[in-house]
């Protein structure tokens, strides 16, 4: 696969290359959109927290890590049940290495982070099996759009990431409601992707809301309201507000395809200014298919940070090569932005060194 800097051109190579070259030497603003949903507490759905109940703390803890270099609302950092640390560690390392400013935006949280955050008027999400997963969707989209319009004037481009445990299940929900076939195509933070559980939850949510596959293809707001999560309206609004003025890198894995479907239905014009930025782990994952989902929606390019932790001296980082975590908190997009900001002077090896340094500091290892 062709590379520019240590960034793989993973889809629509021509546009992908033009996009990454446009970012060369430019100054980004990184926005981390955080939210929570009860969907994450379905047993076996998410590894973004040691126990299901911990998933309420993962997004605020991730946000604290980005801004403070440590968490405040929990001890240590968010880990999977196997003790593998949050991808926010990658994001934080990349942003600090390239001196990229960060803003945290809340789509709706159970636990507030102990740092400054942009309140967009949303509430925590309910279990999608209720069929009434998110309220206030339209208002949050409007407020986030307004925020995106103003933030676009403060940077050459925006990189927008997310932290919401359970987010691939809600992504499958919205994609299904909108008629995009994503069954067994969404990614997972676990090495064994629990596709069955996700499909079951989405089926229950669609049934409870009286909808079925594709019935909401023209109504993304209702799709989110029924079977989505509160990260989505915040993220989609930010993109729509900003991408009318500057390039926007949507930083994430398969969750981005659900946001893409929402934007495509509301204001597809802005998508000519949008790319998805992810990690090599998502692109090379055989249990999911980001490109296959995107192909059904809109022809945006996909860039993937060519991160490789195989040679890491920490088993907790080597685990990323075995398909654990893969992406999240805009890790891939932040890595791409860090490399592009300095014209490639930040390499994947330098990034790994910085990530290892922070890993040692935060995990208390040597």
**Which residues bind to a second copy, rule: CB under 8 A?**
27, 29, 67-68, 99-103, 105-106, 112, 114-121, 139, 143-144, 146-147, 150-151, 153-155
Q: With CA atoms as reference, report the closest residue to 62 among 18, 6, 102.
A: 102
* Shortest spacing between CB 111 and a second copy, in angstroms: 13
In our burial notation (b when 16+ CB lie closer than 10 A, e otherwise), range 195-205 reads bebbbebbbbb
- Report the residue number, 143 or 185, with the smaller CB distance to a second copy: 143
* Shortest spacing between CB 99 and a second copy, in angstroms: 7
Q: How far apart are CA 324 and CA 316, in angstroms?
A: 10
- Report the residue number, 142 or 287, with the smaller CB distance to a second copy: 142
- Report the residue number, 246 or 352, with the smaller CB distance to a second copy: 246
In our burial notation (b when 16+ CB lie closer than 10 A, e otherwise), range 142-176 reads bbbbebbbebbeebebbbbbbbbbbbbbbbbbbbb
- Report the residue number, 82 or 119, with the smaller CB distance to a second copy: 119
State the DSSP code for 287.
T
- Report the residue number, 3 or 112, with the smaller CB distance to a second copy: 112
- Report the residue number, 76 or 121, with the smaller CB distance to a second copy: 121
* Shortest spacing between CB 121 and a second copy, in angstroms: 7
* Shortest spacing between CB 103 and a second copy, in angstroms: 7
Q: Which residue has the tokens 């088993």?
A: 315
- Report the residue number, 148 or 205, with the smaller CB distance to a second copy: 148
* Shortest spacing between CB 26 and a second copy, in angstroms: 13
- Can you spell out the DSSP letters for 148-164? HHHHHTTSSEEEEEEE-
Count CB neighbours of 68 within 10 A: 13
* Shortest spacing between CB 19 and a second copy, in angstroms: 21
Q: With CA atoms as reference, report the closest residue to 48 among 357, 324, 320, 235.
A: 324
Q: With CA atoms as reference, report the closest residue to 5 among 32, 29, 22, 24.
A: 24
* Shortest spacing between CB 143 and a second copy, in angstroms: 5
């Amino acid at each position: 696969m062709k590379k520019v800097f240590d960034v793989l051109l993973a889809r629509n190579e021509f546009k992908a290359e033009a996009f990454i070259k446009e970012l060369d030497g430019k100054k980004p603003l990184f926005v981390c959109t955080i939210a929570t949903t009860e969907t994450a507490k379905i047993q076996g759905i998410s590894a973004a927290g040691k126990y299901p109940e911990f998933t309420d703390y993962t997004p605020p803890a991730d946000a604290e890590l980005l801004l403070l270099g440590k968490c405040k609302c929990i001890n240590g950092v968010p880990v999977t049940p196997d003790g593998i640390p949050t991808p926010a560690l990658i994001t934080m390392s990349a942003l600090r290495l390239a001196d990229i400013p960060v803003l945290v935006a809340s789509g709706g949280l159970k636990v507030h982070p102990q740092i400054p955050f942009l309140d967009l008027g949303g509430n925590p999400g309910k279990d999608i099996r209720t069929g009434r997963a998110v309220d206030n969707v339209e208002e949050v989209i409007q407020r986030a759009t307004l925020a995106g319009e103003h933030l676009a004037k403060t940077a050459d481009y925006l990189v927008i990431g997310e932290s919401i445990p359970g987010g691939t299940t809600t992504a499958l929900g919205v994609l299904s409601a909108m008629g995009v076939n994503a069954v067994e195509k969404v990614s997972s933070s676990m090495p064994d992707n629990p596709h069955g559980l996700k499909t079951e939850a989405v089926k229950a949510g669609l049934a409870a809301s009286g909808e079925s596959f594709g019935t909401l293809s023209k109504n993304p707001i209702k799709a989110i309201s029924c079977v989505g999560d509160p990260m989505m309206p915040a993220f989609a609004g930010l993109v729509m507000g900003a991408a009318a003025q500057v390039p926007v890198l949507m930083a994430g894995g398969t969750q981005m395809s659900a946001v893409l479907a929402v934007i495509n239905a509301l204001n597809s014009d802005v998508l000519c200014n949008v790319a998805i930025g992810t990690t090599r782990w998502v692109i090379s994952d055989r249990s999911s298919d980001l490109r296959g989902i995107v192909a059904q929606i809109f022809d945006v390019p996909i860039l993937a940070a060519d991160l490789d932790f195989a040679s890491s001296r920490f088993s907790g980082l080597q685990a990323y090569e075995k398909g654990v975590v893969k992406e999240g908190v805009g890790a891939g997009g932040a890595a791409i932005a860090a490399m592009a900001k300095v014209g490639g002077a930040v390499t994947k090896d330098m990034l790994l060194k910085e990530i290892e340094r922070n890993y040692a500091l935060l995990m208390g290892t040597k």
